Chain A
Amino acid sequence: MSEKIKEYPGHRIKTADLRAGLVPLIRYKPEAKFAFSAGAAMSRFLEELKNGRILASVCKKCGRIMVPPRTFCEICFKPVDDYTYVKDTGKINTYSVSFIAADASRVKEPTIVAVIELDGASPGMGILHKIGEIDWKEVKFGMRVKAVWKPPEQREGAITDIKYFKPLKEGEE
């Protein structure tokens, strides 16, 4: 824009103008609904969550015990050989503390999210979940944690059948 122009015609649009409908806008809410087929491996995994168990798949070629379970080994590129269970305990691989809610507002009680390497699964494999029953400042790398399950009658075959993982005290299993 030229420096010679001191005043521009018209008036500045304010947020209030948009809200008041003074600027032509087309509002549209997409109709987008899906029902994702969980598939052979994840269906079994979700079913087992109802039983309070965590399912893993086994590749005998690379020897990995994989969580989340899958029907194929992505490294060896072959169908998996077997399914097994891993424990609902493990250690924190990495974590973050979220002070911002999904709508970008600031929250008082932060959410601790962590990747947990489950006992019995191959190193670096496990579950992404929330951490509870601990002040966020106390969370440490490698900290031992255990799943806190919903009561059996409330479980619905979803990842939220585990409420969160809580810290294990020394010597606790």
Chain B
Amino acid sequence: MKDVAVVGVGCVGFRPVTPELSYKELMFEAAMRAYEDAGVNPRKDIDAFITCAEDYWEGFSIFDEFVPDQLGAVLKHLFTVSADGLFGLITAYMLIKTGHFDIVAVEAHSKASDILTYEGIVNFAFDPIFNRPLGGHPYYVAGMEMNRYLCETGTTLEQCAMVAVKNKRNALANPHACYGANITVKDVLCSECQFYPLKKLEISPLSDGCIVTVLASEDVATKLTDKPVWIRGVGWCTETPCLETRDWGRAVYTELAAEMAYKTAGIKNPVKEIDFAEVCDMFAYKELQHLEALKLCRRGEAGNLVEEGVTQRDGELPVNPSGGMLGMGYALEASGLQRVLEAVLQLRGEAGKRQLPEVETGVVQTWRGIPTATGAVVVLSK
């Protein structure tokens, strides 16, 4: 079967607010950039379009109906994947693998600043009978998970804080990141304790933006670009939604998604074969938990990696050179494509000031956020 490559990326944002643009205008700009990057005309060349959106984030039903115009998809084949953008990318990969599609565009965006009741929307994802009546801010789930993770692995509060320090510093070198900062571990630990043991500076703030990626089949990709980024493996997994019975210490959903992705990619030893990782760090501890689930270190070891500087941009295993979500902001369903964007730029050698030397293969991972236990993993190579 033929391979699939990412041949174009386009990005607008990410910024805390975008009051001057409608979501349509945001998407149009990202799409235009992506199609220019890929050298394709959406009206002629693109066979199918995927938008990744959750109606409840958008504030209206059947959101994909509002999408064709700004993606160049009028009277073409379009549908929604109601999940993070990485699931859209995986769906596009599968479409192309069928042999019926040569070029597929995937869009994901965030207009989080349009949501006035963010907590209310997140609460709506909780079990209405068992959990919702308890009330409270939904992020207490992250506090409980972090607590159990620290308890099981011996990871320290300082090590979690180091993730925030690293990622916010990385973000300073990324023009797409709006939450870059030069802060210290002390700053993080002394920031407001919001969901014990989680501190304010360890929580990704919301951001607005849009990313469009263009995928193509092997033959088409090699004609379109000298720098295709190949999708070597994909995987995804969902644990039980039940907050009472899920595994709180481990990101089992990512362990199994990674297993699937590595298997399809033919990766036997991820530590040796993966050069860098872009993972979900919606909360600082999640980066550590996800690194372990990705088998990039042993369980309980991720904290040591960040402490020893291994995951720094100039370390042996750079993690979130983009600044991650702590640096780029939590962009709802666009979060996974933030990770893809960075991996593509790094593999093409187009990451500017934050370019990693000699990278061949990267892994990107996403999590669908509170209160889900769903993740996806994609392996990308030059």
Contacts and interface: CB of A to CB of B under 8 A. Distances in A.
Nearest to A31: B120
Interface residues of A, number: 22
A30 B120 contact: yes
A34 interface: yes
A41 B25 contact: yes
A39 B120 contact: no
Interface stretch (B128-136, B144-152, B346-354): B128-136
A31 B116 CA distance: 9
Contacts of B128: 26, 28
A26 B28 CA distance: 42
Interface in B8-45: 18-25, 28, 32, 35, 41-43
A40 B25 contact: yes
A34 B61 CA distance: 13
Interface stretch (B68-76, B256-264, B323-331): B68-76
Contact of B114 (A26, A36, A40): A36
Interface in A13-46: 26, 28, 30-42
Interface in B105-149: 111, 113-117, 119-121, 123-124, 128-129, 132-133
A111 interface: no
Interface residues of B, number: 36
A26 B127 CA distance: 11
Contacts of B23: 37, 39
Given A33-B116, A37-B21, A41-B25, A74 B72 contact: yes
Nearest to B115: A34
* Residue of A31, A37, A71, A72 with highest tally of chain B CB at under 10 A: A37
A40 B132 contact: no
Interface string A76-90: 110000000000000
Contacts of A37: 18-23, 111, 113-114
B74 A36 contact: no
Nearest to A38: B22
A32 B121 contact: yes
B25 A71 contact: yes
B56 interface: yes
A28 B126 CA distance: 12
A34 to B, nearest CB: 4
Interface in A89-106: none
B175 interface: no
A89 to B, nearest CB: 26
B72 A70 contact: no
Contacts of B119: 31
A107 interface: no
Contacts of A38: 22
14 contacts: A26-B129, A30-B121, A32-B56, A33-B116, A34-B116, A36-B22, A36-B59, A37-B18, A38-B22, A41-B22, A72-B70, A74-B68, A74-B72, A75-B74
Interface of A: 26, 28, 30-42, 70-72, 74-77
Given A33-B120, A37-B21, A74-B69, 15 more contacts: A26-B129, A30-B121, A32-B56, A32-B59, A37-B114, A39-B21, A39-B23, A39-B24, A40-B22, A41-B25, A72-B28, A74-B70, A74-B72, A74-B74, A77-B43
